[in-house]
Amino acid sequence: MPYLKHLFLPVIFLGCLTARLNAQPLKPADYGLKEFSLQDKKLGLIRFYVSTENIQKKKPLFIEVNGSGGLPLCVYIKGKGFGATLNTFNSQLKDATKNQFHYIVLGKPGTPFCDSISTPNDIKHYDEHALISSYAFSKEYNQRLSLNWRVQATKKVISYLITHRFWNRGKIVAYGYSEGGQVVPSLAVADKRVTHIIPVVGSGLNQFYDRIIGWRIKAAHNEVTQQQAQDSIDANLKQIKDIYRHPESSTLQYDGHSYKRWASFGLNPPFEKLRMLHIPIYMIVSTADNNSPIYGLDYVLLDFMRLGKTNLTYDPCVGCDHYLNSTDSDKTVKQTEYTTKILTWLNRH
């Protein structure tokens, strides 16, 4: 399911894998979505997709801000004698919210709704993770993608939906998964029209801190020596310093993303935005998450306690990984459970 280029990075959500010989769902309409687009002088082309369920009626808005990477919302893998479709949006959540809300998901800059990847392997031997991780992000994606682009593009979409009478003056919910979980706090601070946010397996502290603490943990577990850990941290800090020295560079790369992308998130630790908010927040975290480690997220709860703030619902998925799946031997999938919990929480707040 996930994009596993580097385990310490937030990753995109990949779900709804199908492998079959017949026609594949490759268009927005195949997923019950309608495509819209906006052209902006600064942001470029903004593509977004709205659920078609009662699209003519006014409803509250439920906006999904998905995870990291310049992948399309639909990826078609064509192999020897089979085709497989993967989605980088949460289609389960779309189906659960489309009656009560207008479900909306944005595309990434310079990225089509669907694109294809070929493999010479058959269905039993292909590796979707390797194929996905080798997908080349577009030049425009690398040039434009930043925290600010995602925030400003989403604001433009909200304005469009309000102006064109999609909204019933009810809730405007921003759900963010992984990288999106880092976007929605900044979005809510920048756009007071957002009434609720749901950050899921995002980050609490500066994203760069995750790798640093990861080396400390390895040393504590005797997986590396203390000196090896320190040497690795020193090398990493040197790279981080270079990113902050060139925060607008879209050509310099660090672990698969541009300096511009990294600097924009590094300059805006989520907990600093979260504590500015007074709207309801439902934060879902996973205790066995290697991609978005919980220790930085636990700090958010501690900070809210310090400030006496009561608008945070903090919900750890105990023993779960980055995809809300149990890491125990039974491999229980808890995504459906959390979809239900999200809707219950929204009905109560």
DSSP class of 318:
T
Instruction: Give the residue from 295, 273, 274, 277 showing the smallest Cα distance to 286.
Output: 295
Q: How does pLDDT run along the chain (349 residues), one tens digit per residue?
A: 333 333 333 333 334 444 444 568 999 999 999 999 999 999 999 999 999 999 999 999 999 999 999 999 999 999 999 888 999 999 999 999 999 999 999 999 999 999 999 999 998 888 888 888 889 999 999 999 999 999 999 999 999 999 999 999 999 999 999 999 999 999 999 999 999 999 999 999 999 999 999 999 999 999 999 999 999 999 999 999 999 999 999 999 999 999 999 999 999 999 999 999 999 999 999 999 999 999 999 999 999 999 999 999 999 999 999 999 888 866 666 778 899 999 999 999 9
- Block residue for tokens 């903090």: 314
Sequence spans of domains, the chain: 31-73+92-110+136-205+269-348
Structure tokens at 138: 């577009």
Spelled out in words, what is the top-level CATH class assigned to the domain 31-73+92-110+136-205+269-348? alpha beta
DSSP class of 137:
P
Distance, in Å, from the CA atom of 36 to the CA atom of 167, rounded to the nearest integer, reads 16
Distance, in Å, from the CA atom of 93 to the CA atom of 201, rounded to the nearest integer, reads 16
Q: What pTM did the predictor assign?
A: 0.92
